[in-house]
Amino acid sequence: MRTLVTGAAGQLGLGVSRVFRNEGEVVALSHTQLDICDHEAVLEAAREVRPDTIVNCAAYNDVDGAESDPFSAMQVNGIGVRSLAAAAREIDAAFVHYSTDFVFDGTADRPYSESGSPGPQGVYATSKLLGEWFARGAPRHYVFRVESLFGGGAETIESDTKPLGSTLDRMVDALLAGRPVRGFTDRIVSPSYVPDVADATRQLVVCRAAVGLYHCVNTGSATWFEVARAAAIRLKCEPLVFPITVSEVQMPAARPGFCALSNSKIISAGVTMPTWEDALDRYLSTRCPD
């Protein structure tokens, strides 16, 4: 199987490229190698590589920045996805695209299922929902909503050398350096370990599972404060973690308060999604092998 991965220099792109190499050839293209907003370049790359699967890991992820630069967010998260879906349709390839929990308004009291009604609260969230719709332009499409990713590791792809890290990665960096961290007590998430997300993606594509929308997150949910505290306990530095609420921090874009996702559908498709606590243990063992 030949796989084309876009946005391959990012945290998720690196993880996806690793696991798909177990299935065959992977052509991993960073942003400098392929700008998905360039429609003709996307079509040309697809025609040249002729992949069986296109996995899009390219994304505009600056939640707050999108409020002042909506054009860039819509271009990358929406229009670029439309070009990739069109390319996949033309060469009869499966198309994988990643979305986010931010498409929900965060007012639920139980984990959102795939049938839940979206209610994006900002530009970033709206652009990601637009991308979900455009991804359906490929007959064989898989849209995976992921959330609070962590643990993608660090590598270098040509000129795209840059530090990788998500919220949890940065928290662990701070804890290991002896610096205090703050965790929201009023934001509930389903943390997702990049290797688990990448392997779940591979499994569904390889077994040709039913196309459509899946929530691809580790099992369970917790507040950011609880996640940070769990990491600190394992690292033996619990006193460094302090609670905070969203109202105490000024942010241009709204954050959904309750955004835990149900992964029942992807588990029913035959994929094992470990708990976030198990994933955190495995991640921390890579950060502190001793």
The secondary element (H helix, E strand) that includes residue 171 is helix 167-176
- DSSP per-residue codes, 213-282: EEE---B--EEHHHHHHHHHHHTT-GGGEEEE-GGGS--SS---SB--B--HHHHHTT----BHHHHHHH
CA distances from 74 to 3, 109, 128, 259 (A): 25, 30, 8, 22
Query: Which amino acid does the sequence have at 21?
Result: R
Q: Which of 124, 142, 193, 283 is catalytic?
A: 124
Q: Which residue has the tokens 């209610």?
A: 119
The answer to whether 200 and 261 have CB atoms below 8 angstroms apart is no
Pairing of strands 53-56, 94-100: parallel
Query: Is 283 tagged catalytic?
Result: no
Catalytic residues, by residue number, are: 124
